[in-house]
Structure 1
Amino acid sequence: MHAKDIMSTKVITVKCDTTIKEIAQILIEEKISGVPVVDDAENLVGIVTEGDLLHKEASPRIPKYFGILGATIYFGGNEQYKEDFKKLAALKASEIMTTKVITADKDTEISGLANLMVEHNIKRIPIVEKDKVIGIVSRADIIKTFAVK
């Protein structure tokens, strides 16, 4: 089986200027945990998930550092701190979205999708064709295939 056999083709997307409040309402009303973000040409540019939205209430993770002779030396976590802080201050999709989206095409085998989800610790994979979202596969879509085997 392939992505095209199990993907949801009615994909709810948002635009870059969609507000955080609107995104939260969509996730709740549609009972989904993430939504692809598309530009005006409908090209995939990011994804906003419940995990991204949690940053609005969480404190930024402090970078690892040590002090020596009155100086603070950072040795890890600076980029994560900057990203956390950016998401904390976000007001719209373009400011909170994850831009490095793991995607697949419609002919990707289910085992390949499952491997991507496990490897990247993600819950959904947009299925794209020429940068356009044509479907989405969630963990639940893959689990459903166990019932028909």
Structure 2
Amino acid sequence: MRAQDIMISPVYKVKENDTVRAVIERFMEHRISGVPVVNDRNEIVAYISDGDIMRYIGKQKDLFFDSVYYIGFFKANDEDYEERVKRVLDLNVMTIAKKKVIKVEVDEKIENVAAILGNRQIKKLPVERSGVLVGIISRGDVIRHSFQSLL
């Protein structure tokens, strides 16, 4: 089995010149938590997830830890949470999207897709053909297709 056999297509996506507002609207409309960001040639240039937005509005740099234990919170500036939430809406998606995107080609073996999703601890994996976005695979897609004939 190959990536093209289980990928979902067409893919919900956003353009590199979209705002975070457009991303959040797409998340809410389709009940999804991440999308590839593409250029005008439908090439994957970034990926944005709900986690990227959470890190931005939550100001993680304001948290401090001792080893792995949360110690406390200090305010780095006077901007409060509501101001950050409002401000993030008008940001260009590329401001907070991850530019190093892990992706696979359509002919990638499904066991390699499973390994990437598991080892990299990511939820979705864009699929491309010759550099162009053609599909997406989630952890759930791999589980369903791998075990459906065995249950």
Fold conserved between structures, TM > 0.5: yes
Which residues of structure 1 form unaligned runs of 5+? 65-87
Q: Which amino acid aligns with 1:16?
A: E
Tell me which residue corresponds to 1:12. 12
Q: Distance in 2 between matches of 1:26 and 1:48?
A: 11
Q: Which amino acid aligns with 1:41?
A: R
Q: Distance in 1 between matches of 2:33 and 2:117?
A: 14
Q: Distance in 2 between matches of 1:7 and 1:26?
A: 19
Say yes or no: does 1:133 pair with 2:133.
yes
Q: Distance in 2 between matches of 1:8 and 1:28?
A: 19
Tell me which residue corresponds to 2:45. 45
Tell me which residue corresponds to 1:83. none
Tell me which residue corresponds to 1:107. 107
Change (3 A) 1:39 1:137: same
Distance apart, 1:105 and its partner CA: 1.0
Alignment length, in residue pairs?
Answer: 126
Q: Which amino acid aligns with 1:22?
A: A
Counterpart secondary structure, 2:143: helix
Q: Which amino acid aligns with 2:21?
A: K
Q: Distance in 1 between matches of 2:149 and 2:106?
A: 20
Say yes or no: does 1:148 pair with 2:139.
no
Distance apart, 1:148 and its partner CA: 2.2
Q: Distance in 1 between matches of 2:95 and 2:59?
A: 17
Alignment of 1:71-82 (within 5 A): none
Deviation >2 Å, runs of 4+? 60-64
Q: Distance in 2 between matches of 1:141 and 1:8?
A: 8
Distance apart, 1:29 and its partner CA: 1.0
Which residues of structure 2 form unaligned runs of 5+? 65-83
Distance apart, 1:63 and its partner CA: 9.5
Distance apart, 1:60 and its partner CA: 2.9
Taking structure 1 as the reference length, the TM-score comes to 0.77
Cα RMSD, aligned residues only? 1.9
Distance apart, 1:139 and its partner CA: 0.8
Q: Taking every aligned residue pair, what percent have the same amino acid on both sides?
A: 31
Q: Which amino acid aligns with 1:55?
A: R
Tell me which residue corresponds to 2:98. 98
Tell me which residue corresponds to 2:74. none
Distance apart, 1:92 and its partner CA: 1.7
